[in-house]
Structure 1
């Protein structure tokens, strides 16, 4: 009986942990993000490579206008307007496109937002960013980008999210251990 209850609690613990992690890593609309705030104080001093993979669930091709903005936790922001080019078959279903972008030098890239204008729709699978003196980072979208909205990830404060997750995890472990010890296992 106690072993079955312990197994149930461990299952609930695993489920809670996976839900907490997945909610942190979901793309979202950035209502307060405004590309006009981007400061180009050292414009053109560093080069970045973006590899954008379009999902096989995306429309066959898109004529939509697609822009991307990304940066670090210190306010260094890079903006790439109009990555789309329908004549070159950019952002076709089940494809990857590579872009070279110049912009201000940044530390570790921790956020990316995509902006789409048009009627066709577009579903990126991943956006991978390589930069000078930074680790490559991959953002997993796998969802349609809403029209006329900056949509993506901001993991710049992920350490506080990780801390909240760790506190939550410790609390659950203590509860499970307390329960198990109260039954004399």
Structure 2
């Protein structure tokens, strides 16, 4: 009886450990990601606060052009074509920059992509998005953003039918 209980406990620990390792997410390039210029439904009617934290391991500051796009599982996409401002030294090492971004209203945000154009490089630590009708979301990057490609996270489920499903699928992937 004791051996059986130990065996079950050992199997449970191994299963939990392997699930934790397989659910760790890192940002990925998405060469197929496109800005949906046709999606103008409710364009500019909702406000989002975007906070980008630059890693202390990044370059001292970047002059690169930084863009962001985020959205929900229903095709609502918010796009800010240029967040950087070299004259104010945005994205300095060990800093946080906050932006007010306007776009179509969304349901729960489940993806975020960054785009970098330039030669300096940039290492974001984290991207946080706050919206009126959505729960705040945070995406941990801790990775250099490659030049000239969309790079980030997509936790959207093609089978999601409501915000609880999207939230549950995101939580399950963490």
- Same-fold call, TM > 0.5? yes
Helix, strand or coil for the counterpart of 1:19?
helix
Per-residue deviation at 1:15? 2.5
Per-residue deviation at 1:19? 1.3
Paired residues, number: 163
Match of 1:15 among 17, 31, 39: 17
Map of 1:40 onto structure 2: 40
Map of 1:50 onto structure 2: 50
TM (norm. structure 1) is 0.79
Per-residue deviation at 1:49? 0.5
Contact 2:69–2:114, Cα closer than 8 Å, also in 1: yes
Map of 2:112 onto structure 1: 112
1:156 aligns with 2:156: yes
Deviations 1:84-133 (A, max 9, x none): 11111100010000000111111111110000011111111111101111
Per-residue deviation at 1:9? 3.8
Higher strand share: 2
Map of 1:62 onto structure 2: 62
Residues of 2 paired with 1:38 and 1:89: CA distance? 33
Map of 1:128 onto structure 2: 128
Contact 1:38–1:78, Cα closer than 8 Å, also in 2: no
Residues of 2 paired with 1:17 and 1:38: CA distance? 39
Residues of 2 paired with 1:30 and 1:37: CA distance? 18
Alignment of 1:146-185 (within 5 A): 146-157=146-157, 162=169
Any runs of at least 4 consecutive aligned residues in structure 1 with deviations exceeding 4 A, and if so which?
1-8, 158-163
Per-residue deviation at 1:145? 0.7
Map of 2:83 onto structure 1: 83
Distance 1:45 1:139, change over 3 A: same
TM (norm. structure 2) is 0.83
Higher helix share: 1
* RMSD between superposed Cα atoms in Å: 2.4
Contact 2:64–2:121, Cα closer than 8 Å, also in 1: yes
Map of 2:30 onto structure 1: 30
Residues of 1 paired with 2:107 and 2:7: CA distance? 47
Contact 1:65–1:84, Cα closer than 8 Å, also in 2: yes
Map of 2:72 onto structure 1: 72
Answer with 1 or 2: which has the greater Rg: 1
